[in-house]
Amino acid sequence: MWTNFFKLRLFCCLLAVLMVVVLVINVTQVEYLDHETVSATFIDSSGQFISSQVTGISRNPYCGYDQQTLSSQERMEEDSLLAALHRQVPDVGPVPFVKSTDPSSSYFVILNSAAFFQVGSQLEVLVHVQDFQRKPKKYGGDYLQARIHSPKLQAGAVGRVVDYQNGFYKVFFTLLWPGKVKVSIFLVHPSEGIRVLQRLQEDKPDRVYFKSLFRSGRISETTECNVCLPGNLPLCNFTDLYTGEPWFCFKPKKLPCSSRITHFKGGYLKGLLTAAESAFFQSGVNIKMPINSSGPDWVTVIPRRIKETNTLELSQGSGTFPSGYYYKDQWRPRKFKMRQFNDPDNITECLQRKVVHLFGDSTIRQWFEYLTTFVPDLVEFNLGSPKNVGPFLAVDQKHNILLKYRCHGPPIRFTTVFSSELHYVANELNGIVGGKNTVVAIAVWSHFSTFPLEVYIRRLRNIRRAVVRLLDRSPKTVVVIRTANAQELGPEVSLFNSDWYNFQLDTILRRMFSGVGVYLVDAWEMTLAHYLPHKLHPDEVIVKNQLDMFLSFVCPLET
């Protein structure tokens, strides 16, 4: 009996040990799989999980950016951003011009056509692209822009384009105002042109080059500069000590690196395309050309039946796309009520006792120019800065308003910037105390369009760190980010500042500052939705709407 009992105890002990061993092995495998999943899966633009092996995410080796020292979280974020922008343009080999996308042969059809739509309804449009032989294309990758508009109402909004990778595209619109609403679809670049732009982004990031003037006494020299430089010639290392942003110039033959005086745009490389590639970039043929409808290109929208007394307010849905729309030439965000600052006194009252910092490129310099022109008490103080470069300063002594503008650090394509004025936005933010009377607005995008995306991600990462620190020490500081915008395009401009490049930058900007606690002025939608031609520096009516939105963040309506 005792022998049997002893054997039973021994068996139970062995079984318990075996169970512990199996449990440890399983836990180890689960931890290993979790680790592999975290490091190898990302979220694409639709929120779906995709594998890095499927997307083929690779880093551009330009300037050693693929060897950056990043934390695991930064690495995952960068992978996620690159995955979201991974454009599936099939490698179909060389494509002759006649087989490329022809906007005049392509067409669109309104799918869910009805006698009447209500405000808030969804409108679906199918686009079918064809080549110059009027044959249907079997692959996607074209870059389209879409909007709905009512010219008599000066109303407009953008649509969301989905590429089915088979020559068909679907565009989704939200109908946000009553009346006759027209659909417009544009081919910005054919997929064959997008492949060329991708090649330039990867292989020719230095197609805009920069220079610096070095001077000591009567001796002066000019050398080329960039984020990195080819060859083995001696270099001057102007990498920023605080942000680590790289910048180099070829060392002058007779002068020290410390004798640098100015920075300026050297120019644009020529001869970037073959004759066959040039055919994909023709004004009036395949750059920002309209695609016509094969049937009606408009629908009738009626007001909602509930509380029709304020139709437009009811049309503001809970979604975030589109972020807003124009009505009677006034931008109407869908998530909050925007004020109209039609009188200079309204702006003065809003900015009284405030310091306003504007950092970035020339698109936010427009804000400085608008405010100093429109508000008579805001007088510009002459700092002797080069025209259109800055820094600039304006003061309203009576109402205690200080308005500043400073351009961002290199790369920047301005004519001449004193090297002593090449300040990085992150460093400037670190020097701001902040508080309820401090306002910061930032626009950094246009001068990064020729570089690999990793260069822009690094710059925004540094700016974001500084913004987070600023809001941490002074939570009542108002920080506003101005997004990128569409612009006019020709054969040459497309190779350097294409909307396709800037769409990528805009997507990165929005994702990286999501949840940070900053406000966003959606300049991208505000230019695409408007009836005026696209410009790098939008016309005054668009800038006015941008300023109204900016000031509405600074001085919101009391609720």
What ranges make up the beta strands (E) of 287-434?
289-293, 298-302, 324-327, 330-333, 355-360, 379-381, 392-396, 401-407, 417-418
Of 482 and 61, more confident: 482
Answer whether residue 88 shows pLDDT above 70. no
pLDDT tens-digit profile of 367-386?
Answer: 999 999 999 999 998 887 77
Q: What is the dihedral of CA 57, 269, 391, 556, to 10 degrees?
A: -40
- What pTM does this model have? 0.85
Residue 417: which of 393, 445, 388, 460 has the closest Cα?
388
Tell me which residue of 327, 324, 295 sits closest to 311, measured CA to CA: 327
What confidence tier does 91 reach under pLDDT thresholds 50, 70, 90?
Answer: confident
Average confidence (pLDDT) over 346-351? 97
Q: What is the pLDDT of residue 61?
A: 64
Mean pLDDT of 68-78: 84
CB–CB of 173/185 below 8 Å? no
pLDDT tier for residue 477 given thresholds of 50, 70 and 90: very high
Q: Tell me the average pLDDT of the chain.
A: 87
- Which stretch of 89-93, 172-176, 270-274, 318-322 has the lowest confidence by average pLDDT? 318-322
Report helix, strand or coil for 307.
coil
Beta strands in 52-163 (DSSP E): 101-110, 117-118, 122-131, 143-150, 155-158, 160-163
* Per-residue pLDDT tens digits for 232-266: 899 999 999 999 999 999 999 999 999 999 999 99
- Report DSSP letters for 456-524, one per residue: HHHHHHHHHHHHHHHHHH-TT-EEEEE--------TTTHHHH-HHHHHHHHHHHHHHTTTSS-EEE-HH
Q: Is the confidence at residue 29, as pLDDT, over 70?
A: no
Q: Are strands 168-174 and 160-163 parallel, antiparallel or unpaired?
A: antiparallel
Looking at the chain, the whole-number percentage of residues with pLDDT higher than 90 is 75
Mean local confidence (pLDDT), 91-101: 90
| pLDDT tens-digit readout, 532-551 | 999 999 999 999 999 999 99
Q: How far is the C-alpha of 506 from the C-alpha of 297, rounded, in Å?
A: 29
Query: Residues 300-328: what's their mean pLDDT?
Result: 67
Judge contact between 277 and 196, C-beta under 8 A. yes
pLDDT band (50, 70, 90) for residue 288:
very high
* Helix pair 453-473, 499-512: axis angle to 10 deg: 30
Cis, peptide link before residue 411, omega less than 30° from 0: yes
Residue 391 near residue 404 (C-beta atoms within 8 A): yes
Please list, in sequence order, all residues whose beta carbon lies within 8 angstroms of the beta carbon of residue 28, skipping any fewer than 6 positions away.
none
Q: What is the predicted pLDDT for the residue at 22?
A: 35
Instruction: At 267, give phi and psi (nearest 5°).
Output: 155, -170
24-38, 67-81, 351-365: range with lowest mean pLDDT? 24-38
pLDDT of 18 higher than 70: no
What is the predicted pLDDT for the residue at 60? 62
pLDDT tens profile 157-170: 999 999 999 999 99
Residue 31 pLDDT > 60: no
